[in-house]
Structure formats: structure tokens, C-alpha cells
Amino acid sequence: MSSDAPLRVLVVDDEAPARRKLLRLLREDALVEVVAEADSGEGAVAAIADHHPDLVLLDVQMPGMDGLDVTRALSAAHTPRIVFVTAHEEYAVRAFEVHAFDYLLKPVSRERFRDVLRRAREQRGQGDSALSARMRDLFAELRHARSFADRLLVHEEGRARFVPVRDIAWVEADRNYLVLHCRAGTHMLRGTLEALEKTLDPKDFVRINRSSVVRLDAIRELHPWFHGEHKVILQDDTELRWSRRYAAQRADLLKRF
């Protein structure tokens, strides 16, 4: 394929504002053609099959089928170059640095974005054997092993910082954000509880209701409550409710003791 041919790109993100930002950056490059956009993992798999893009900008954290699930659904021998886009899955970034074509951290900078497109355009004409081998390694790793986050990247007052997972006592959902309750205070993180839960080690954290995930070491007491529910008392005297919907998780926890 000629190096002057447009780079055919698919944009995948469940959040419309994030997709719009990526599309704005893509429109600044005259040698890019946006072939489609998708707002879900299922939509991404279908769009890849329909449009055969050269490059996919793929969000990691999406409800239901996330970015990692998308890679599992693809054939390593017939996959486009994938650039993973993530806000706070630092554990995944480490794997992407080794295996994937590239990654972008949100908020995406214009300079970093242009560098990714430049590399994608340059490598498009160099053959896919090395890339396919790297992607096969990634797929094998995703299928047979799962690592969990040991820190989360949060953006506060125009700066980014890592919050150690060991410092988190509990997490509560607040619309499109998560509130991390830590020893030294709270931090806001954009995302969903379902997506965050996948990055936390289940040996250390447990989902107790629709809007709360708790670190097991932070629990001081459990008290039976109404209608099969329990009251959860944390080490700092915070009181939470363990709902009947998550009774199975509670039963699994009690078996450990």
C-alpha cells in the first residue's frame, strides 16, 4: 500500500465526548480517513469486520465487552494495528508497552497523538509479521493470565498522579465518576464501578452493593440487617449496606473465616 494513501482509522469509545476529541484530532491530519466509530466492544468487533481499518483507537474501559474483550474476539493473523486508550488502567499500559502497537493515556495530548499516527503510517508499509507476532503474544497473555492494578491514575487540578490501591478503603459510584476513599482523603476518578472492579484483585476487594466496592482489610464488623442484608462497619466507623443482590459475594467472604 502506498505511504501516501490515507490511514484508515476506527474510533471506539463508549463516551461520546471522548470519541469527539479523538475525531477532532484525526481531522487535523489530511492523510487520515475515519472509516467508522463505535460506542461498544460489540460494535468495535463488527466495525473491524466490516471496514478492515488500518488502525483502531480502542478504549480499554467500556461496560459489557471492554477493550481487552475486543482483542480476544479478533484473529491475531487478521487484526488491524490497535492503539489502546486508557485513563487509569496502569496495569494494562505495562502490557501494551511490550505487546501492542501503541497506547494513549487520557487526556490525550496532541503531540503524543500525532506521534502515534506517524508511527502507524511509517510501519504500515514495513510488513505485518513482527506486529502479528507481538499481537499473538498479547492475546496469549490476555487469555491465560490477568494482572490487577496496584495503582490508579487520577487527574486533579490539572495534574496527574498515581494513587496506590493499597491506600483505598472503599470506592463509591457517583454518576460518571468514582470516589476513592483513601487514608489521606478522597480522589475523583472518571469511570464506572463495573470497569474498575475488573482491575481490582478479588482477594482484596468485594462488591457490596450497586454503588460500593470495599477493601476487605477495611471492614471491622458485619451486622445482620433487615431482609437478609448486612450492615458493614469500616475501620474508620463508616457504615455501609451489603445488599441482598450481592449475597453470594458475602457468602464467599464468610467461608474464608
98-122 pLDDT per residue, tens: 456 777 877 888 998 999 899 888 8
Predicted confidence (pLDDT) at residue 55 exceeds the cutoff of 70: yes
* Highest mean pLDDT (candidates 73-87, 148-162, 208-222): 208-222
- Return the CATH number at 50: 3.40.50.2300
The cell for 251 is 457468602
Contact by Cβ (8 Å): 81, 139:
no
152, part of any domain: no
Q: Which of 109, 144, 179 is the last residue of a domain?
A: 144
3, burial (CB in 10 Å: exposed 0-12, middle 13-18, buried 19+): exposed
Cα–Cα distance, 186 to 168 (Å, whole number): 9
Q: Are residues 93 and 169 in the same domain?
A: no
Same domain assignment for residues 100 and 58: yes
Report the number of distinct structural domains present in the chain.
2
- 101's CB contacts (< 8 A; 6+ apart) are 55, 81, 82, 83, 119, 120, 123, 131, 134
Average pLDDT, the chain: 82
Q: What is the pLDDT of residue 9?
A: 97
Q: pLDDT tens across 123-148, in order?
A: 776 655 555 555 555 555 544 445 67
Residue 1 resides in a domain: no
Are 59 and 168 members of one domain?
no
C-alpha closest to that of 242 among 216, 257, 220, 222: 222
The reply to whether 17 and 122 lie within a common domain is yes
Which CATH number fits the domain that encloses residue 199? Answer: 2.40.50.1020
Specify which residues 251 forms β-bridges with.
Answer: none
Q: Is residue 153 part of a domain?
A: no
Q: Which three cell numbers stand for residue 9?
A: 482509522
Residue 221 lies in a domain: yes
Residues 140 and 175 in one domain: no
Residue with cell 469500616: 234
Do 36 and 77 fall into the same domain?
Answer: yes
- What pLDDT is recorded for position 40? 93
Residue 149's alpha-carbon distances to 33, 181, 204, in angstroms, are: 35, 16, 11
Q: Which domain holds residue 100?
A: 7-144
State which of 84, 117, 144 marks the end of a domain.
Answer: 144
Q: Is residue 79 domain-shared with residue 192, that is, in the same domain?
A: no
